[in-house]
Chains A and B, each alone.
Chain A
Amino acid sequence: MTLQRPAFYGGLSSSIAKKSGGDRGAELKTVEIGEQAVIDQDYPSTLESVDLAEASTLEAAAQAGFDEDEQHRIGMSLRECMVNAVVHGNRYNRNKIVHIRVLRSSERFTIQITDQGEGFEVKEVPDPLDETNLLRHSGRGLFLMGAFMDDVKVRKIEPTATQHSGTEVTLVKNVGPREQ
């Protein structure tokens, strides 16, 4: 079985690993020492879930000490990602879940959103700032996540005997001055 890890974690030498249960049992979750999971929750594929996940994440961001503007950016990035997961990933299928994991450390605030959809290729997402795409109705979500967060990683999850296909998006906000 191929072990895939988010690129974000790839360079962390001081990491510990623990296995999670259920369908995600095949994934090896790595957690930076000192990083604490403040949210670890499955949500059904509904728009109500988007509101609930946004509210929980905003609360966690406030507790982490982010000011109102940063809370807004974090909350909006979560919302955009969760909408993509529910609408485009799981296609409102109530038998599929969206998993949200929020990790907090002294250096960063990390959100992982995992759906059970077919996955997508980032390079195939049209650039919303291109003149020909400016007046498109949709397609700005991923761009906004990149604009509001310090790091965004998208990983396509290949299906295995014990694991759904899907997409895992990792959103990172550094604690402290925003990187320019």
Chain B
Amino acid sequence: MSVKLNTRQVGDVTVIDVSGRITLGEGSSALRDVLRDLTAKGNKKILLNLSEVSYIDSSGIGELVSGFTSVANSGGTLKLLGLTKRVKDLLQITKLYTVFDVHEEEAHAIRSFA
């Protein structure tokens, strides 16, 4: 299963629901395109819901990092929601877990943008 991305608006926060695998190729480029598009349209508050992401490789991690920095460079904020144990472990061993603002509950994550 490749990656699927669905974008929805909750107040002034844009939530991207991601499911499947974020790996080199289609998965990572699809995520890059969505984040680039949202940033170009001026979206400043982006919440990436990874609760249905079954697998992420180093290329996928690279896209998360690039998305984080590109959104920040445009004056916005990108946060993460609902990490699976494997994705959380991966961010921890790569020392990226504390770089991102990570949330477990969507309502809490949405409020944190205020």
Contact = CB atoms under 8 A, between A and B. Distances in A.
B94 A143 contact: yes
A83 interface: yes
Interface of B is mostly: helix
Nearest to A83: B24
B99 to A, nearest CB: 6
A144 B58 CA distance: 8
A24 B58 CA distance: 30
Interface stretch (A26-34, A107-115, A133-141, A156-164): A133-141
Task: Name A's interface SS.
Answer: helix
B102 to A, nearest CB: 15
A76 interface: yes
Interface of A: 47, 50, 72, 76, 79-80, 83, 87, 128-129, 134-138, 140-141, 143-144, 147
The 3 closest A-B pairs by CB, nearest first: A140-B58, A137-B62, A47-B25
14 contacts: A50-B24, A76-B57, A80-B57, A80-B58, A83-B57, A83-B58, A87-B24, A135-B69, A135-B99, A136-B62, A136-B65, A137-B63, A144-B94, A147-B93
